[in-house]
A and B are shown apart, each in its own frame.
Chain A
């Protein structure tokens, strides 16, 4: 088997890609050999997805070169990638639910019969689809509508789509995130079959246990930089995790006061089937509690359920001792709870509205109890926060969509500070913003905590959690599996638990 995996068929050299304010990739090297599964590992924001999007033609790199079979190629759009035999299987499927499996497999490249009329050759499509599905060991009728398939089957249809264009290189972005363990076994068998036929796979994953089952080599990225590549036999937790983490905690994080007061938020046995189970936690006034875990561990879902946006099946939530009976964000805000959502543009800001409207959006009832709004009060309140948060804007009338990412996040933060909510749920508060703005946000969080706010902070950036939080809870597959005090917590230990490997170390300890 290993003899096939000699020469790299694909090489990426010195790929650099910057977005406004962020250098997402910084001279990254990567190579892929024929018939191998090359695992790409790294924390959120390490640049894995960006690198793969460069490969798939979604992003153009600022510099660097891509070599296919030793020859430089340029991939300017998804079509180019397809022509070169590179396919990417996205986490959110690129399929039309109301079309048949065959129509999806051949979408955009429907075979036509000769002649003037150029009619689609459905028979050929069916036959070919059946053949491809068969090689994947799927008993799906090509005429089935995609909407009637399960998640695992949809994923295999994506794979079939890639095979139909004879892709030699397949990029899979966390393919097992939504699969059951039996479906994962099946997927892995298929991956092995594919590699034995010479297909090469770039496999993005967080799950170390999977990696040893399926991968051949592991490459680690960190902060947009290439860290190293190791054969999978050597990719033990002890070897890989330090590569992923690497950073030392910087002086970015300042906590001026750590004196927890009364209990502000208390959650007991909260369960939403399929998302999170039996989650209990408390946050005190003046305390910042971190919530760590991998993407998909259920952290965001838990926070949204606590806030009343998403439903839950059982459990109870108390805010300052009183039981939450109404499950609605409106009620939550009224009792003093705020949520800073993960998706800033999608859920945090009214992009078309002026800054001032955004700042007071969660405080309308507080500021204007009669229902009458005074624009002057609005402006002066907003101006106060612009000053306090050092929001870079010429005027409070500036439309939110014209502000930079970090500034936008400060506006969302200002919205919750303005609301005078004492219990704040922060979901990835510093994602995608530059270091300067991050430092500002940490300062503000510290100040709020000092003034007595109770903050629950979800973050995928461990240094940030370690720097800011008083306690850190770790979630794995919907459960809170570990609580660390500030002194106990280390990046390695948190990652172990987040990856479900916590027991190994405790067993050996």
Chain B
């Protein structure tokens, strides 16, 4: 029983939150509101998927917010100056991939600690975004591009469609491919993975590169939704993605956890902020709730692990 609670503590928390909000606010359990929650969760969930994959290798990527700003500003520039959004989209994805590759190379080959490697790029990417924009804000995109984030597919908002697609993709990648097995193996024991003949460096580089690509994609959705691009976007994204991962229950130590947990973590975060809105709690409390949830989630885990150890 105890291990059941421990194992599904996040799901139980999510359910408890939903039940509490249903009771507390009649506006909560409406189709419209729930759709809203999921829509809000969409971008964060996608960023969380990538971050989770990185954290499972025992790494971290602090640069995601800055890379997102850089790629989406570059894309915005190109989209505005061309007829079609395609070149902008391709550029964004390409630059995101490059940034991720750079991170991966620094971690795998130069052997910098992931925190350090991505910390440097965080500043540089943001700065280049500022320089590129040189004070302007690019706004007003074409309908085609705006459809990415504001359109509907069979009545479902596009971001949610993408979220589900990315989740399925990542779930499949992490659990049904040899690549996913390598990711977990590297995070659990890098030396053992190497001795088992896995290509450790290649795995690490791929993970960061894939994350860069994903970040660029989310950036495109973000500016499509905003209908504008400016260099200061996404400053809190890295931290929010980390928060979703941690609250979901993927630990920093690597080799454990998974994207489903992060999906739940992101949903918990979105429910919290939605609930606060509905209950008229000032949104100013949001960072506090975020921080406290992280600390509590980890705390519960630590205490449960302690209890389990004492029991055995």
Contact = CB atoms under 8 A, between A and B. Distances in A.
A383 B252 CA distance: 31
- Chain B, interface size category, equals 20 to 34
A331 B196 CA distance: 10
A361 B176 contact: no
A14 B192 CA distance: 40
B193 interface: yes
Contact of B194 (A309, A353, A368, A373): A309
Interface string A397-427: 0000000000000000001000100000000
A348 to B, nearest CB: 6
B179 A350 contact: no
Contacts of B180: 373
B191 A357 contact: no
A375 to B, nearest CB: 7
Interface stretch (B10-18, B181-189, B278-286): B181-189
A375 B184 contact: no
Nearest to B200: A330
15 contacts: A307-B195, A329-B194, A330-B197, A333-B197, A347-B189, A348-B192, A348-B195, A350-B192, A352-B187, A352-B256, A357-B185, A361-B185, A361-B198, A362-B197, A372-B176
B113 to A, nearest CB: 17
Nearest to B191: A347
Contacts of B199: 330
A371 B179 contact: yes
A361 B181 contact: yes
Interface of A: 307, 309, 329-334, 339, 341, 346-353, 357, 360-362, 364-365, 368, 371-375, 415, 419
A419 B198 CA distance: 12
B255 interface: yes
Interface string B187-226: 1110111111111000000000000000000000000000
A375 B192 CA distance: 21
Given A349-B189, A351-B189, A375 B175 contact: yes
A364 B178 contact: yes
A13 B152 CA distance: 81
B177 interface: yes
A357 B189 contact: no
Contacts of B255: 350, 352-353
Given A330-B194, A357-B185, A361-B185, 11 more contacts: A307-B195, A329-B197, A341-B195, A351-B188, A352-B255, A353-B184, A361-B196, A364-B178, A364-B198, A373-B181, A375-B176
Interface string B149-175: 000000000000000000000000001
A373 B185 CA distance: 14
Interface in B218-236: none
Contacts of B256: 352
Contacts of A364: 178, 181-182, 198
A140 to B, nearest CB: 31
A332 B195 CA distance: 9
Contacts of B191: 346-347
Contacts of A361: 181, 185, 192-193, 196, 198
List the 3 shortest-distance A-B pairs measured between CB atoms, nearest first.
Answer: A333-B197, A350-B188, A352-B255
Which of A346, A353, A374 lies at the interface centre, i.e. has the most chain B CB atoms within 10 A of its CB?
A353
A120 to B, nearest CB: 31
A307 to B, nearest CB: 8
Contact of A357 (B184, B194, B195): B184
Interface string B83-110: 0000000000000000000000000000
Contact of B196 (A351, A362, A374): A362
Contacts of B193: 350, 361
A371 B178 CA distance: 5
B197 A352 contact: no
Interface in B254-286: 255-256
A341 B191 CA distance: 10
A253 to B, nearest CB: 27
A364 B194 CA distance: 13
Nearest to A346: B191
Nearest to A399: B256
A246 to B, nearest CB: 35
A339 B195 contact: yes
A307 B194 CA distance: 11
Contacts of A372: 176-178
Contacts of A352: 187-189, 253, 255-256
A92 B187 CA distance: 26
Given A347-B191, A368-B178, A371-B177, A334 B197 contact: yes
Contacts of A329: 194-197
Contacts of A349: 189, 192
B189 A350 contact: yes
B188 A330 contact: no
A416 to B, nearest CB: 9
Contacts of A333: 196-197
Contacts of A365: 178, 197
A330 B198 contact: yes
Nearest to B178: A364
A365 B180 CA distance: 13
B108 to A, nearest CB: 14
A357 B181 contact: yes
A347 B192 contact: yes
Contacts of B177: 371-373
A155 to B, nearest CB: 28
Given A365-B178, A373-B176, A373-B177, A350 B197 contact: no
A488 B69 CA distance: 73
Nearest to A348: B192
Contacts of B185: 350, 353, 357, 361
A331 B197 CA distance: 7
A354 to B, nearest CB: 10
Contact of B178 (A307, A373, A419): A373
A372 to B, nearest CB: 6
A487 to B, nearest CB: 35
Contacts of A332: 197
Which of A351, A362, A365 lies at the interface centre, i.e. has the most chain B CB atoms within 10 A of its CB?
A362
A334 B176 CA distance: 22
Nearest to B256: A352
Nearest to B251: A352
Which of B175, B191, B256 lies at the interface centre, i.e. has the most chain A CB atoms within 10 A of its CB?
B191
